[in-house]
Amino acid sequence: MMKKILVVNANWIGDAIFSSPVFRALKQAYPQATISCLAEPRVHGILEAIAEIDEIIPYEENGQHRALGAKLRLIINLFQRHFDAAFLLHRSLTKALLVFCSGIPHRIGYNAKHRGIFLTHQVQGRPQEKVHRCDYYLQVLESFGITVAERSTSLRVDQEAQKEIAGILHCHQITPTTFLVIIHPGGNWNLKRWPPAYFTRLIDHLNREMDVRTIVTGTQDDASLIQAIIAPLSQRPLVLAGKINLRQLIALMKRANAVVSADSGPLHIAASVGTATLSIFGPTDPTLTGPRGTGRAIILRHDIGCNRQACYYTDCPDNTCMQAVSVAEVMDVIRSIRNS
């Protein structure tokens, strides 16, 4: 009977969200166990919204744990916790070595980067490029004999954050009955972004044709992108980029009636709190990284030849695959959500 379980998680928001079914399955299999998660601080806000995680252990490989001494202190910390098993979702060789040195008796993960020597159980399953990221992580459990009953992503919404968002919206005359469309124009690399001019036209059409309010989200790093989008507009949306924290963003996505985004972390947040999402895909493949939440998910993507497989040509000169999705198509989907 396992009493203490460690999960070594992925490094990015979207991947952390895709890992949420792992914790649900572990808690169902071992309801009395304490489940800890070792992860980069950048994803802690997401992990805090996964109900089945009991403890988050920070690991910052390129920050506070870069030095050998810091890694040794972390190993001692893990050793003293007496974990029964570690499930490694991340393919890192370094993290597999950390878990090995921590004396955890059962170490389950993929034999990537020749790290099989540090594992007691090597996962047998479909390769990462052939299966949705959720299922790729769940294979780690299934290979160990754990039954997975539910494969959708799920995040809980902080009640205090909901109150804070309600207050922000109230200050901008957005009532609980207002049909609210969230526009998230950013992405972790430019190739996945819908053209700024398309977002401008979309917001303009929404302003003129539909009784809705729009909010633009993002980080402070998206400031120039968002300014380029809203500058031509006579009626500008509410911009909350860089002004709310991750807890509040989750609550805002829960409040929204529809979210328009490319393949991004906030898209998967929205889907995971049950909100309808309109996903604009181009270079990435929705069968691998599409929304897996309980919210209605509409995906717009066109086969233009070069994107029949996931494309990582970040120097693409024209980003044709994203341009192939028209403003009219997006408007049609938002109308269908509005009328449903």
| Structure tokens belonging to residue 141 | 């459990």
Res 45: pLDDT: 92
Residue 42 DSSP label: G
Residues of the chain with pLDDT under 50: none
Q: What's the pTM value of the predicted model, to 2 decimals?
A: 0.93
Amino acid at 258: A
Pick the CATH number of 159-339 from 3.40.50.2000, 2.40.160.20, 3.40.50.2300, 2.60.40.10: 3.40.50.2000
| CA separation for the pair 37, 6 (Å, rounded) | 6
Res 313: pLDDT: 72
| CA separation for the pair 333, 329 (Å, rounded) | 6
Q: Which residues contact 90 (CB under 8 A, 6 or more apart)?
A: 8, 9, 10, 11
Domain 4-142 identical in fold to domain 159-339: yes
Res 310: pLDDT: 78
| Structure tokens belonging to residue 293 | 């939440």
pLDDT digits (tens, 9 = 90+) for 254-299: 999 999 999 999 999 999 999 999 999 988 899 999 999 999 999 9
Res 61: pLDDT: 84
> What CATH superfamily classification does 4-142 receive?
Glycogen Phosphorylase B; (3.40.50.2000)
| Bridge partners (DSSP) listed for residue 85 | 5, 106
| CA separation for the pair 24, 292 (Å, rounded) | 14
Residue ranges per domain, the chain?
4-142, 159-339
Res 1: pLDDT: 75
Find, among 309, 306, 305, 270, the residue nearest to 286 by Cα.
309
